[in-house]
Amino acid sequence: MKRAIITGITGQDGSYLTELLLAKGYEVHGIIRRSSTFNTGRIEHLYQDPHDPEQRLVLHYGDLTDSSRLVTLIEKVRPDEVYHLAAQSHVRVSFDEPEFTGNTTGLGTARLLEAIRMVGIDTRYYQASSSEMFGATPPPQSEVTPFYPRSPYGAAKLYGYWMARNYREAHGLFAVNGILFNHESPRRGETFVTRKIARAAARIAQGKEEFVYLGNLDAVRDWGYAPEYVEGMWRMLQADQGDDYVLATGTATTVRQWVQYCFEHVGADWERHVRFDEGYLRPTEVDSLIGDSSKAEKTLGWTAQTMPEQLAHIMVDAELAETRIGEP
């Protein structure tokens, strides 16, 4: 039985990846941060009885700022595969908390890689790199596009990217960078723009809210469906050697178009309900991200199946179903 460690298991991607790996027969070890409130909502359906001998999901407390804990966990689990997904992942927040973002998203990666090297195990390592690393470089962006990060988050991710490459080249680690463009789902955090809008459209249609406050509607993003992207992560670690891959749909959508997709789906006029709040603007914006994932298609046989408009409908439908629960 293969064993995997996932950092960031409680997040959107962590939860879909856990489902995928359990279905493939893996034993999955997740690292979670201690909190006084429950933070395991996205994986609860997978983690029912810790005393069940059939239970193949094991959770461990740990944190990316705690190197000795990372060493003991790697030593204890001795994973065949490590998926490093944990990060302070909110771009806007990274402008307010640049040091924390650098410490977790950037240095946290160095701590994990160094833990693997210190324990000396033979494992395969997935680094959650990001299209934010391209920042100001115009689209289309591929594996050979120069980087120009425009936020503390993008800069921290770029450090992680180069650390993973360095461990591959200097220490012979099977390390992979998955340069993933935005990928969304009903499990997306509620402050990211796709989920925020899908949720608002549903609630406005149900008469629970009247307005949604947004920042820049002109930004262009390449939004794909998260469950397909975690399949791509797994494929990267099954390849013959460690390499870097872009995963994207190749489709450009503005935030405004996303608003239209969501509001049209519930039959509401978006212009009556969307208001501007400058608090959601960023000091520097990434204007346009559109990925070219032809290398992943050629090498891994991976292509995005769900396109942005269909994705918007999936997310709005999930919100409508969710908000109806418990209604009289």
Ligand X SMILES: C[C@H]1O[C@H](OP(=O)(O)OP(=O)(O)OC[C@H]2O[C@@H](n3cnc4c(=O)[nH]c(N)nc43)[C@H](O)[C@@H]2O)[C@@H](O)[C@@H](O)C1=O
Q: Based on the shown chain and the rule CB under 6 A, indicate whether residue 310 belongs to the binding site for ligand X.
A: no
Structure tokens given for 76: 């204890």
* DSSP H helices in the chain: 12-23, 67-77, 91-96, 98-101, 108-119, 152-171, 193-205, 226-238, 255-265, 294-300, 308-324
Residue 215 engages ligand X in binding (rule: CB under 6 A): yes
Binding flag, residue 13, ligand X (CB under 6 A): no
Catalytic residue among 126, 153, 167, 225: 153
Q: Is position 26 annotated in a ligand binding site? A: no
- What minimum distance in Å lies between the beta carbon of 208 and ligand X? 18
Binder among 65, 216, 284, 323 for ligand X (CB under 6 A): 216
Question: Which residues are 183's β-sheet partners?
Answer: 224
Strands 81-84 and 183-184, by their bridges, are: unpaired
Candidates 71-79, 201-209, 213-221, 318-326; binding stretch for ligand X (CB under 6 A)? 213-221
Q: Are 26 and 4 in contact (CB under 8 A)?
A: yes
- C-alpha distances out from residue 75 to 72, 86, 114, 115, 168, Å: 5, 19, 12, 9, 20
Site for ligand X in 181-200 (CB under 6 A): 181-182, 191-194, 196
Q: Does 141 bind ligand X (CB under 6 A)?
A: no
Among 63, 143, 264, 285, binds ligand X (CB under 6 A): 285
Size of the site for ligand X (CB under 6 A): 22
* Residue 91 in the binding site for ligand X (CB under 6 A): yes
Would you count residue 222 as binding ligand X (CB under 6 A)? Answer: no
Instruction: Assess whether 153 carries a catalytic annotation.
Output: yes
Among 17, 158, 205, 255, binds ligand X (CB under 6 A): 255
Instruction: Give the number of other Cβ atoms within 10 Å of residue 94's Cβ.
Output: 24
Cα atoms in the Cβ-side hemisphere of radius 13 Å centred on 145: 26
Residue 148 or 280: which CB sits closer to ligand X?
Answer: 280
Q: Which of 74, 85, 164, 219 binds ligand X (CB under 6 A)?
A: 219
Q: Which residue in 130, 151, 185, 288 is the catalytic one?
A: 130
Active site residue 15: no
- Distance between CA atoms of residues 301 and 303, nearest Å: 7
Q: Longest Cα pair distance anywhere in the chain, in angstroms?
A: 62
Q: Which stretch binds ligand X (CB under 6 A): 31-39, 73-81, 230-238, 277-285?
A: 277-285
Query: First CA to last CA across the chain, in angstroms?
Result: 47
Q: Per CB under 6 A, does 132 bind ligand X?
A: yes
* Catalytic residue list contains 288: no
256 closest CA partner among 308, 218, 313: 218
Which chain residues interact with ligand X by CB under 6 A? 89, 91-92, 130-132, 181-182, 191-194, 196, 214-216, 219, 221, 255, 280, 282, 285
Catalytic residue list: 130, 132, 153
